[in-house]
Amino acid sequence: MPRRAAFIAVGSELLHSDRVDTNSLVAARVLRRCGVVLSEKRVVEDNEAAIATAVTELAGRCEIVITSGGLGPTADDTTREAVAAAFDLSLARNPHVLDLIAARYRDRGREMPAIAAKMADVIAGATVLANPVGQAPGQLVPVGGTEIALLPGVPREFAAILELSLLPRWAGSAAVVVRELHLAGVWESEVERRIGHLYERFGRERVTILGGRAQVSLVLTADGPNAAGSIAEMDQAFSDLAGADLFGRDDDTLAGVVLAALRVRNWRLALAESCTGGLIAAALAAVPGASEVFQGGVVAYSNQVKTATLGVAADVIATHGAVSQPTAEAMARGALGLGADCAIAVTGIAGPGGATLDKPVGTVHIVVATPAGMHHRRHQFPGDRTAIREIAVTFALDALRRLLAGW
Amino acid sequence: MPRRAAFIAVGSELLHSDRVDTNSLVAARVLRRCGVVLSEKRVVEDNEAAIATAVTELAGRCEIVITSGGLGPTADDTTREAVAAAFDLSLARNPHVLDLIAARYRDRGREMPAIAAKMADVIAGATVLANPVGQAPGQLVPVGGTEIALLPGVPREFAAILELSLLPRWAGSAAVVVRELHLAGVWESEVERRIGHLYERFGRERVTILGGRAQVSLVLTADGPNAAGSIAEMDQAFSDLAGADLFGRDDDTLAGVVLAALRVRNWRLALAESCTGGLIAAALAAVPGASEVFQGGVVAYSNQVKTATLGVAADVIATHGAVSQPTAEAMARGALGLGADCAIAVTGIAGPGGATLDKPVGTVHIVVATPAGMHHRRHQFPGDRTAIREIAVTFALDALRRLLAGW
């Protein structure tokens, strides 16, 4: 069984509507490298009772508890007092730590304010953790089978103490490997059905499924001495079931994968977007170096733009409507004319207005034009305007990806 | 004593090193409007025991507990089961809820998968909270003096149920009034300097400043019997200092404000985007009804597209470069030619590549063309590729907004 850890961010300001704690992300990364599972994280108010309650509850169920914040010199910095009280330990001023703190002030040409002395209060039995980039040292307090690490909340101080003092201590010989598989053009429930039987084989707790907007990610975890072998075996088994829906692993993005596949073929891409209104272009342009492959495109919201810049014949729109296969194909041909080897065209009804009886909200036509011809598909997407537009982006890029993969 | 609330995000993926829960920020804002103090938040793994432990601990010390996530159809969605088990309540399939879920699938032309039925399991004594934008309804479970609200983790579903069903319930007579003022084309430190002296007048705790990507919001709060009067007074004082930088209040967005100002004048807008690569178009197209005003535009990444669709003369690009005032002006003229009354053109270097000695990363030319002529500004934006592109979107839309305001 891997060791389990919990994280507590101390600070009332982290309970407002405009701040998120990010020290826990650093802790999660360091703990993963140590083979420790981060099983819970919390934000609590900076008062002694709240902190004491949190460390007591968590020490009862984790081998490691990390606190962030509340080690400064002011009256609302009470993490030391709270942890000491929670486990009935004494707190005493440590003269060596006090000397170090005073020396840091002297080195900076400042006199140590009287209130700063409390940063030298050390919990009985604690190991002092040197702070290479700030005043308040950390403390590591053993309580039963649990180690409680008190760290400052300032992000670079938090990270420095964690990486310099605690990572080497906790890493030991453990190794946890994480692999993410990314699928596009599918729904979570569908993937769940397809892979469900693998949960039993590999263990339910080793697979997390993340779904959203026609993309699904499978997060696979393995640990122990054969972690690398296990993750390879899991990757193989899940990839086989993902099949052509699998577009990448770990840091891959759909736009990045499509651009890379085009770059290999030395193909240039252009777009003709109506209902997605620039979102596909924005997704591609977000990838550094996109301009080598991505030529640009037209956001053809009005029929006049469709006609003027893409050469869509007015009578095609008049006969079939702006949201139709013939219009989408004409848009794709127009985009090809912008100096591209392949093109994606999207036209649809994202709502809330614009629907007709035979073209409800969510109707989207996607055409991919390649040297081999036109590939068209009519979709009916669920959700509101935002969802429909984002799902259309995924399906549009994914349609090109699948064509390139089968090339 | 104000009521106290706690928040629990359910999801193992939120304990990784790359994700933060943001639903708690929405919860914090809604709770503040209800006069409820958010006193603790947590992230727990998606397993039944972890969720049950968290709700049990928190129900003992808060009047309100909100959970986010774990209400979907898959095997690791266990929040309903966990809360039922924690308080020894039964869980039964509700046929009316099942009908609603099945109808949603039918409306979208999809068959309801068998596993989806578990979203209709309702805890004994719970009030079902309609989900207007997704499948899984929320549930409000009374346990002793505590209300436990089970909400879906999908952010828009979480926010919708919270605001539609729970805000009115919890707000009661606690008259907390919140007003947000939104500024664009400014930086947080600048605004802080300008408004700082008002903190003393109105109280530091009643003003929150939120900055990011060239937009700043001031969140003003008032309570007590004269809350409405206080908020009007604060609005007046802060608006005076915001001056022309103020673009809207509360739910206003910059794109929405620009489109509304154009609609009043019956003006149509077109775009020519290079480094922003479709982001401005996407921001405008995200606004329902945008197509009445927004004609579309060209994402002119390659010079060939600039020339072919916008009529930018090749020798303008050759002489001055793609990132220059003459090219930006030619792009704007080309966009006007798409049947628009006004146009925005943006060309710049978002990096990481493409910089030259006299055109460092962050150089962005923005041109707004109106019937009164061309308005050009060269900017030097800070940050990485993503930041530069997003800041450019704000400044581009804001340049048009300021011209329209001064019309």
List, for residues A225-251, the tens digit of each pLDDT value: 788 899 999 999 999 999 999 999 987
Q: What is the pLDDT of residue B20?
A: 87
The CATH number for A145's domain is 3.40.980.10
Cα separation of A261 and A315, whole Å? 36
8 A C-beta contact, residue A393 and residue A283 = yes
Asked if the Cβ–Cβ distance from A297 to B281 is below 8 Å, we say no
- Tell if the CB–CB gap between A285 and B298 is shorter than 8 Å: no
- Looking at B125, B147, B171, the residue that finishes a domain is B171
Is residue A175 very low, low, confident or very high in pLDDT (cuts 50, 70, 90)?
low
Residue A308 C-alpha, separation from nearest chain B C-alpha, in angstroms: 7
User: Which of A128, A153, A171 is the last residue in one of the domains?
Assistant: A171
B355 and B210 inside one domain: no
Residue A275 · residue B281 · CB < 8 Å: no
| Average pLDDT of the residues in A189-213 | 86
Residues A60 and A146 in one domain: yes
Residue from B10, B12, B14, B15 whose CB has the most chain A CBs within 10 Å, to mutate: B15
Are residues B264 and B182 located together in one domain of the fold?
Answer: no
**Looking at chain B, how many residues does it have?**
407
Strand extents, DSSP E, B77-176: 91-93, 121-123, 127-129, 138-143, 146-151
Do A379 and A401 meet the contact criterion of CB atoms below 8 Å apart? no
> Do residues B233 and B376 both lie within one domain?
no
CB contact under 8 A, B301 and A285: yes
CATH number for the domain harbouring residue B201: 3.30.1370
What is the reported pLDDT for A198? Answer: 93
We report the CATH number of the domain holding residue B357 as 3.90.950.20
In whole angstroms, how far apart are CA B50 and each of A42, A63, A224, B11, B53?
Answer: 13, 16, 24, 10, 5
Ranges of chain B whose pLDDT falls below 50: none
| Beta pairing partners, B66 | B7, B149
Mean pLDDT of chain A: 92
Residues B10 and B150 in one domain: yes
| Residue A283: closest CA among A247, A263, A260, A255 | A255
- Are A205 and A161 in a shared domain? no
Q: A188-202 and A227-242 helices cross at what angle (nearest 10)?
A: 140
Closest CB from A20, A301, A389 relative to B295: A301
For residue B236, what are the contacts with CB-CB under 8 A and spacing of at least 6?
Answer: none
CA distance to partner chain B, nearest, from residue A46 (Å): 10
Q: Is B89 exposed, middle or buried (0-12, 13-18, 19+ CB in 10 A)?
A: middle
- Rounded to a whole number, what is the distance in Å from the CA of B117 to chain A's nearest CA? 12
Question: Are residues B219 and A32, on separate chains, in Cβ contact within 8 Å?
Answer: no
Determine the residue type at A368: V
Tell me if the bond preceding B113 is cis, omega within 30° of 0.
no
Closest CB to A338: pick one of B54, B305, B354: B305
A9 and A100 share one domain: yes
What number of C-beta contacts closer than 8 Å exist between A and B?
Answer: 254
The answer to whether the CB of B320 falls within 8 A of the CB of B327 is yes
How far apart, in whole angstroms, are the C-alpha atoms of residue B355 and residue A316? 44
**Domains: count for chain B:** 3
- List, as one string, the DSSP characters of B190-223: HHHHHHHHHHHHH-GGGEEEEEETTEEEEEEEE-
Read off the pLDDT band of A407 (50, 70, 90): low
- Structural domain span for residue B146: 4-171
Q: Hey, are the CB atoms on B73 and A26 less than 8 Å from each other?
A: no
HEC secondary structure over A288-328: CCHHHCEEEEEEECCHHHHHHHHCCCHHHHHHHCCCCHHHH
Please indicate whether, in this complex, the C-beta atoms of A285 and B299 are within 8 angstroms of each other: yes
Question: Which of A109, A136, A171 finishes a domain?
Answer: A171
Clarify whether residues B94 and B129 are in a common domain: yes
Q: Which residue has the higher pLDDT, A1 or B277?
A: B277
Record the tokens describing residue B157, joined without a space.
């579903």
Whether residue A173 is predicted with pLDDT greater than 60 in this model: the reply is no
| R_g of chain A computed on alpha carbons | 28
Q: Looking at the structure, tell me whether residues B132 and B267 fall in a common domain.
A: no
Tallying the residues shown for chain A, one arrives at 407
Give the gap in angstroms from C-alpha A123 to the nearest C-alpha of chain B. Answer: 25
**Once rounded to an integer, what is the mean pLDDT over residues A292-302?**
93
Nearest Cα of chain B lies from the Cα of A28 at a distance, in angstroms, of: 5
Same domain? For B158 and B197 the reply is: no
Same structural domain, B387 and B294: yes
User: How many angstroms separate the Cα of B104 from the Cα of each of A149, B109, B112, B119, B136?
Assistant: 49, 9, 9, 12, 10
CB < 8 Å to A192, chain B = 73-75, 115
| pLDDT for res A12 | 86
- If you measure CA to CA, which chain B residue comes closest to A268? B302
Which residues from chain B sit within 8 angstroms of residue A387, using beta carbons? Answer: 156
B10 Cα to chain A: minimum distance (Å)? 10
The DSSP letter of residue A353 is S
On whether both B45 and B25 belong to a single domain, the answer is yes
Please tell me the distance from the alpha carbon of residue A176 to that of residue B21, in angstroms, as a whole number: 23
What's the sign of the alpha-carbon dihedral B31, B36, B39, B43? negative
Among partner residues A54, A279, A385, which is closest to B282 by beta-carbon distance? Answer: A279
Nearest alpha carbon to residue A82 among A141, A27, A25: A141
Among A117-121, A170-174, B267-271, where is mean pLDDT lowest?
A170-174
The token pair that represents A49 in the structure block: 């009772």
How much is the pTM? 0.73
- The first and second tokens of residue B261, run together, are 């100002």
> Average pLDDT of A368-395?
93
> CB-CB: which of A196, A271, A353 is closest to B289?
A353
Given pLDDT bands bounded at 50, 70 and 90, which one contains residue A174?
A: low
Q: B180 pairs with which residues across the strands?
A: B219
Asked if the model's pLDDT at residue A308 lies above 80, the reply is yes
Query: Which pair of structure tokens corresponds to residue A13?
Result: 């300001």
Tell me, what's the ipTM?
0.70
